[in-house]
Structure formats: C-alpha cells, structure tokens
Structure 1
Amino acid sequence: MPKPVLGTAAATVLAVLLLTGAAPADQPVPRLSVALDNGRDQADSGDRVTWTLTVRNLGPEPATELRIEQSLPSGATPARSADSATSADATVLGGTASWQHVSLAGGTEKKLTFTADLPPADARTLRSASTACVYPADSPAPVVCASDLDLLPAGRRALADAARPAGAPPAYWWTAAALPVLAIGAYLAYRRRFRTTASS
C-alpha cells in the first residue's frame, strides 16, 4: 500500500539492509525483507486499522530468534474486542507491538497482523504512520524496516490546498470544471446560428 507530496498512504517500503553491527560477529546477518500494509491510504479519527506485516527470508539458511517490532501511530490503542485480527503472540509495550523468537526457514515468509484503533485526529497531524523493523537475536539494530502511511483529514485538506492555485477561492474549482462545458455549449450555439444564416 509512490503517492502525493504529503506522503505515501498505505506506503509499503521493501528493502534489504545489511547493517554493520546488526548481529554478533560470530553470527551472520540474515538476508531479510519486510513489508507493512493496512490496505488503505487514508484514515479518520477512531478508525479500526489492521496491518499485515510480511517478513521474508531471502537466503538459503534459516533465520532464528528474530525479534519483530511495530511502532503504532501516536495515540493508537490496541483493539481488544473479538473482531481484532491481532496475531495471538503479540505483546504491546509503550506503543510498540512486538513478536519474540520468530524463526524462518530459508526461502520462506511469515505474516503477522496487528489491529488498533486510531485516536481522534489532531488538526495539525497530516499522517498516521506505523513502522515495522526486524532484529536478529538481541541486537539493538534492525536489519530491515518498512513503513505504512495514511493521510488524515488535515493531510487531505493540505493536499487539496497545495493543488489549488495560490489565492484561488473554493469557487475556483466549480468555475474550472464549468468552463469546458460552457465552451462546448457556445460552440454548438454558434454552429446552429451559422447554419441557419447560411441556409436563409
């Protein structure tokens, strides 16, 4: 889930980052990729959102003891009701959902889900953002991360304002849309008048 200037809604970033120091010296860094998506690119206050996090092992060797963390949008609360799609083994602490001791055989993938309710949208907040990272063993540095961004009402208004010519009032859009119709109508009226004059 490339988008407008204000950010990528439902932006899924997929990359392999082999970071120095991401794993102990005697342990090879796994070749992993991650994607995070909630199936939308816009959100509103109080929306219930479910993200799907897909981790892939791109190498032939198994990747074991992985730690996966997803930072939730600011103010979001984990959904507790029966219709929550959150993976059962997720734990939440301080706005971050995490999965421990995740293992992937070579060439395989694992999907995790997390459901949360978004907070009331602040008038100054343009986007709702969530980021997921994968860590090897007890390393403090991730090997790969992905983000998902959704435009909030303030972001959508700002995007519309950015597309409008400077100083143009709201009526600008109605006028701009009506001009082609008026032009076509004037042309057809002219043709009818011209044909009537010519025939007479």
Structure 2
Amino acid sequence: MRTAVVCALLCAAALPGPSAAASAPQAPPAAAQAASPAARYAAQAPPAVSVTVAVTDGRDDAEAGKRLDYRITVHNLGSTAVRGARIEQEMPATTTSATAPGATLEGRGEREQKAVWHSDLPAHDIQVFTASAVLGDRHDDTGSAAPGTLRAASTVCVYVGESFAPTACSGDLDDLPETHAEAGGGNGWVGWAVAAAATALFGPGVVRAVRRRRAAQPR
C-alpha cells in the first residue's frame, strides 16, 4: 500500500504543470497589429459616390416682377444607391417669394430664401426637382457683372449624409437690366434743354457784340 502511494506521489511530481504559453493571453495576428487606425476607418467608411447636378431656368435675362422657373436635374452616376441625399437651392438675392414642390422653404427676406429637398438616389438614377422665384427690385449696383447690369444668381448643391461639404454644385445666372438708366437719360435731356435755353437767350446779344467789335476795327 505504501509503495502504491509513493509511486502515485512520484508520478504526480514528474508530470509537467500547466503550460505558461497556454495560460498567457494570445497576441493578435500580425496583420491586425499592422493595421493603422486610418486603415480600420477606411474599411468602415461608406463607399464613394458619384453625383452630378445641373440647374437652369431656360433664359439668360430677367427683371423685377418676373417669375423664374428652375429645373434641377440630379444624376447618380454610381452603382451604389445614395440614401438621404440633401439638395439645397439658394434663390437669387432679390427674390421676394419662392415655391418648390416637395421641398422645405427656409428664410423669408431677400438674400435668405432657400429650398431644401431630401431624397434617396438609386444607382444610375436621374431625378428632377422644380422651383420658382419671383424677383423684386435691386437696391444698388454692387457686384455688377458688366456696366449697367447685375446678375440674378441661383446655386444648387447636393450633400450626402451629414456632411457639410457638397458632393456636387451647379448654378444659373441671369442678367438684370440697369434700373437707373432712365434717370441718367433724364439728366442728359435736362442738360441739353438748359443749354438750348441759354443759347436762345444770350445768342443774339453775343452776335451783336461781335458785329460791333468788327465794325469798330479800322480797315
């Protein structure tokens, strides 16, 4: 009996204990260690999108009181659908009223009005949005594109997700007429009228004075 107990103790002492390598936590694979934070973020980032936008009102000039009808075309060129795209149109600075079916209108005063649409853009899909703006009188010539003119500008941008940077933008420009042209022309006619009146009043006296001077000169 003692011999059996001693053998059991000796066998237990001879057996190896738990491996340190087995009990230690295993290190992550070398590929995972080599991956940088930027690489891990890139793997989680949404795929790049390819979207274009175009806007036109079908004309090149405008004037106060007229309505401009805009047509906005958004084209998703990519093979991936774009969810929750945001399309924003800035109305011309002199806009007094605007309409945009399906959009939310922001701002009420001049230089502040904007239309905002929210829409999904399926892959390779084209979507069309419409809006209208009625122009009011402009107050100065600041920013004239050419002597006597100012442009009514409208811009449209497409935003993807929560980004503040647009994915695509486009614009439309219309020339506005010179609002002070008649006033300037009126001042010119007033000047001509004054000159004509002065000539009628003083012209005969000047002629007589010239004749007298010539008659008084010795020949």
TM-score with structure 1 setting the length? 0.58
Instruction: Please name the residue that 2:205 is paired with.
Output: none
TM-superposed deviation, 1:75: 2.8
TM-superposed deviation, 1:108: 0.9
The CA deviation string for residues 96-128 of structure 1, in whole angstroms up to 9 with x for no partner, is: 11112x111111111001111111134515100
Instruction: Please name the residue that 2:55 is paired with.
Output: 36
2:94/2:152 contact within 8 Å kept = no
The CA deviation string for residues 28-50 of structure 1, in whole angstroms up to 9 with x for no partner, is: 23100000000110000111111
2:160/2:167 contact within 8 Å kept = yes
Q: Does 1:106 align with 2:90?
A: no
Structure 1 runs (4+) deviating above 4 angstroms are none
Greater Rg, structure 1 or structure 2?
Answer: 2
Instruction: Please name the residue that 2:103 is paired with.
Output: 89
Q: Secondary structure at the match of 2:178?
A: helix
Instruction: Please name the residue that 1:198 is paired with.
Output: none
* Partner residue of 1:127 out of 137, 140, 151: 151
* Partner residue of 1:142 out of 166, 184, 195: 166
1:121/1:152 contact within 8 Å kept = no
Q: Structure 1 vs Structure 2: percent identity of aligned residues?
A: 35
Unaligned ranges ≥5, structure 1: 1-24, 158-200
Q: Secondary structure at the match of 1:116?
A: strand
* Partner residue of 1:53 out of 56, 63, 72: 72
Higher RCO by CA contacts (8 Å cutoff, separation 6 or greater): 1
2:102/2:117 contact within 8 Å kept = no
1:123/1:154 contact within 8 Å kept = no
Count of residues paired in the alignment: 126
The CA deviation string for residues 138-185 of structure 1, in whole angstroms up to 9 with x for no partner, is: 110001000000000039x8xxxxxxxxxxxxxxxxxxxxxxxxxxxx
Instruction: Please name the residue that 1:78 is paired with.
Output: 97
CA distance in 2, matches of 1:41, 1:122: 21
CA distance in 2, matches of 1:136, 1:107: 16
TM-superposed deviation, 1:88: 2.9
Higher helix share: 2
Describe how 1:14-29 pairs up with structure 2 within 5 A: 26-29=45-48
TM-score with structure 2 setting the length? 0.53
Supply the AA of the counterpart residue of 1:132. Answer: V
Q: Aligned-residue CA RMSD in angstroms? A: 2.0
Instruction: Please name the residue that 1:185 is paired with.
Output: none
Instruction: Please name the residue that 2:193 is paired with.
Output: none
2:94/2:138 contact within 8 Å kept = no
Supply the AA of the counterpart residue of 1:147. Answer: G
CA distance in 2, matches of 1:50, 1:99: 17
Unaligned ranges ≥5, structure 2: 1-43, 145-149, 182-219
